[in-house]
Amino acid sequence: MFFETLKSIKFSRLSWLPYCVLMGVLLFGNISSARAQLTGISEIGHSYQADARGGTETSIGDTGLAHIRQPASAATQAYAKFDSKINSVFINNQWSDIRDTGNSDVNYALSYNLGTVIPLSEDFGLGLAYETGGYSTKFANRYNFPDLTNPMFNSFSYNTKSIYANLGYKVTDKLFVGGGPTLQILELGMNLNAGPGVLNVPTTQGVGGGFQLGVLYQITEIFRLGASYASSTYYGNMNFGETAYVVPGVNPLTAPLGIESFTTPGRISFGVSAKATEKMKVAVEAGYLNYGSSVLGGMNFQGLINNNLNLGFQDFWVLNTGIEYEFTEHINGAIGYVFNTQPINASEMVPIAASVGQSQFTYGLRYKGERFWAGFAHMITLTSDLSSNSSTHRELGPDYQHSTVRQMLQGLSCGAGFKF
């Protein structure tokens, strides 16, 4: 049955348009992917439509980007569509300690997502997407002399470019499943103080892989359930090459440096949506992100330094809620609220990398025509503070003990799409 269905698939000339767009971006796109996100360092939603309604998309799957979170949605689309999202984040990261207060030099970031879904037959649908993401901060130099064994971060950048390919399958008129691989390119850079000098760590790139799975079930005409799983992305070992330890007035010491068993976080999501009225849609979902067991929980350095540097991230839960309302035939509005448990362990907090926001409000508008749509979403993170203390289980420099991180974020996403 499966192979017979694949043989029956036919593509029109126009159906190749999104592939050409995606390939053009992959070959020639060079927009900065550094981005502070609003749930830990992960996206609230993958489209501006999902952003507007608090990131709810596990049980909805209504865009050309939704298959990133919910692969089964690739089989639910009545027609082929293309969606885009540009995301701007305005950031204020502040680090206070026993000496002074400093602000990160990184206060703005830009990223983008592109995605398409194409029905291949009555039962199968294909989703393709390209997404950028990451997190970066840069503070003025701070020294923890004379503690050479526990380096401190001055700057940290973690940027990703991801490619998704998902195949959705309609099992019955009510049950849909989907899944596919992820290819991710990561760029990692950092600068650390250690003793009287600075470790100038070269920026490095790696290629990793993972996968995602999803299921959608239409309980009734009103209610729909969804669940999805995105694996961690596995890179193996990351090598920085020759790294220099620079002390003023002394010849630099150089040696290889690398990180063992590098992985980025995965996610499990569960959601339910309801068509409350002919014009109103309500959705709630919960997600669990395994930051603690990824490189964000700890980096095992080998080479010039041999140490496990814990960035202080831990596993956490996120709750997404949203309402979408059809004001007119062409205008939709949405509001949402997002809450996540604290992604940072205060006793192990590394201020340079801490992302401490927990509560976000969202809203947005969308215009939808017969073949074209466009809109925006605004996301506001309530100011959040987190303080470390001297009872930490590992020795940190004096700049880390009694530190406080304050984070203020606002995000604006916009996009457009069309059917073909």
Residues 108, 91: Cα–Cα separation, whole Å = 6
* Helix, strand, coil share (%) of the chain residues, nearest 5: 10, 55, 35
Look at the block and give the residue holding tokens 């799983």: 229
Quote the pLDDT of residue 120. 97
Quote the pLDDT of residue 123. 96
Quote the pLDDT of residue 25. 36
Please name the amino acid found at residue 173: D
Terminus-to-terminus CA distance in the chain, angstroms? 28
* pLDDT tens-digit series, residues 130-157: 999 877 777 765 555 445 555 556 777 8
Q: How far is CA 89 from CA 37, 321, 378, 381, 413, in A?
A: 8, 21, 10, 11, 8
Q: How far is CA 13 from CA 21, 129, 168, in A?
A: 14, 19, 22
Helix segments in 150-282, DSSP class H: none
Alpha carbon 110 to its chain centroid, in Å, reads: 13
Q: What pTM did the predictor assign?
A: 0.83
Quote the pLDDT of residue 346. 82
Dump strand ranges (E) for 22-100.
81-96
- Token representation of residue 193: 């103080």
Q: How far is CA 160 from CA 113, 183, 247, in A?
A: 12, 10, 32
Residues 326, 279: Cα–Cα separation, whole Å = 5
Quote the pLDDT of residue 152. 58
pLDDT in tens, the chain (420 residues): 433 433 343 434 334 333 333 333 333 333 333 344 456 677 888 999 999 999 999 999 999 999 999 999 999 999 999 999 999 888 888 878 777 777 777 777 788 999 999 999 999 999 999 999 877 777 765 555 445 555 556 777 878 899 999 999 999 999 999 999 999 998 888 777 666 677 778 888 889 999 999 999 999 999 999 999 999 999 888 888 888 887 777 888 888 888 888 888 899 999 999 999 999 999 999 999 998 888 777 777 788 777 777 778 899 999 999 999 999 999 999 999 999 999 888 877 777 777 888 899 999 999 999 999 999 999 998 888 888 765 443 444 555 667 888 888 899 999 999 999
- The residue among 340, 342, 308 whose CA lies nearest residue 321 is 340
Residues 45, 283: Cα–Cα separation, whole Å = 13
- For the domain made up of 2-419, give the CATH fold: Porin (2.40.160)
Please name the amino acid found at residue 363: Y
Quote the pLDDT of residue 219. 96
Quote the pLDDT of residue 150. 52
Quote the pLDDT of residue 204. 86
Contacts with 3 (C-beta within 8 Å, 6 or more apart), sequence order: none
Contacts with 104 (C-beta within 8 Å, 6 or more apart), sequence order: 91, 92, 93, 94, 95, 137, 138, 139
